[in-house]
Structure 1
Amino acid sequence: MPTAEFKENKLVDVTFMGMRSAIGVIFIVHGFGKFGSERFFGMVDSMVGIPDIGPVLGTLVALGEFVGGILLIIGVLSRISAAVISAIMVGAIFVVKGAGSLTGEGAYELDLILLASCLVIMLAGPGRIALAQIVKKLPRYIH
């Protein structure tokens, strides 16, 4: 019979660390590839319909993915990073892909699983194997 001790299980913490790391690596790679990409900036311009907004909005998306991925891996500001990445994924599903097809060419299945994973991190937190948890345990001295 399951008990409330589930969150105390070390396997749960390792699982959360693994999930954060996998998502983080995916977004570091995706975000890094968008920096300075004229093709990506042009695509953003055409989707938004506002001239010359592509480089600004595209850089914000790239920063959100790249920095958010790093923060997820190290376990700092994980819920905020997951929220930013979730917003980017909602945009990817509904704006970029038009919520067209779940599978096949131009599908949003990967975006959906990344969104779901980020929602889990937002709701459950990063787990105990995270830099934020280590910092919380350091002694604090007030003078």
Structure 2
Amino acid sequence: MTSAEIREKFLNDIVFMGLRSAIGVIFILHGISKFNPGFAENLPNMGLPAEMQIPIALAELIPGIFIIIGVLSRLSASLISVIMLGAIFMVKGASSITGKGGVELDLILLASVLLIMITGPGRISLAQALKKIPRCLH
């Protein structure tokens, strides 16, 4: 393997870690904001019981953390993809791509978590580091 190929692979790993970090931060912030009592008050308007506030908040917060550190990434991305489909179809009604109530950002987030779900966490991740621990230490 040439040094150019090594640099390219390393750059790909860095870029993918950056994508995971950006997606994770977005969902951590969205999850934290959903602990606000105002979110629970709006849930019945979306056809959901107010008791769903905490499960929805945790379904964004915890997977966001896991995606950043690169552990349980596929499972976390799967959970977030369900949340995003709910946002697109239940909350916004998939009425338009752009403009008020548009789903353009939701689609980008969905596509990003689907990418993470398919490819896994990448080489710069806790999951990858754990694979390198000698078996005798497990």
Given the two structures, how large is their TM-score scaled by the length of structure 1? 0.86
Distance 1:110 1:142, change over 3 A: closer
Report the alpha carbon displacement of residue 39 of structure 1 after superposing the two structures with TM.
1.9
Match of 2:135 in 1: 140
User: Percent identity among equivalent residues?
Assistant: 58
Report the alpha carbon displacement of residue 121 of structure 1 after superposing the two structures with TM.
0.5
Match of 2:42 in 1: 43
Match of 1:12 in 2: 12
Secondary structure, aligned partner of 2:135: coil
Once the two structures are superposed, residues 51-76 of structure 1 have per-residue CA deviations (whole angstroms, 9 ceiling, x without a partner) of xx31x312111101111111010001
Contact 1:24 1:69 in 2 (8 A): yes
User: Partners in 1 of 2:41 and 2:33 — Cα distance?
Assistant: 14
Match of 1:34 in 2: 34
How many equivalent residue pairs? 133
Consecutive unaligned residues of structure 1, counting only runs of 5 or more, are none
The answer to whether structure 1 residue 79 and structure 2 residue 74 are counterparts is yes
The answer to whether structure 1 residue 101 and structure 2 residue 76 are counterparts is no
Equivalent residue letter for 2:22? A
Secondary structure, aligned partner of 1:9: helix
The answer to whether structure 1 residue 114 and structure 2 residue 76 are counterparts is no
Consecutive unaligned residues of structure 2, counting only runs of 5 or more, are none
Distance 1:18 1:98, change over 3 A: same
Contact 1:99 1:108 in 2 (8 A): yes
Runs (4+) of structure 1 exceeding 3 A deviation are: none
Report the alpha carbon displacement of residue 142 of structure 1 after superposing the two structures with TM.
7.3
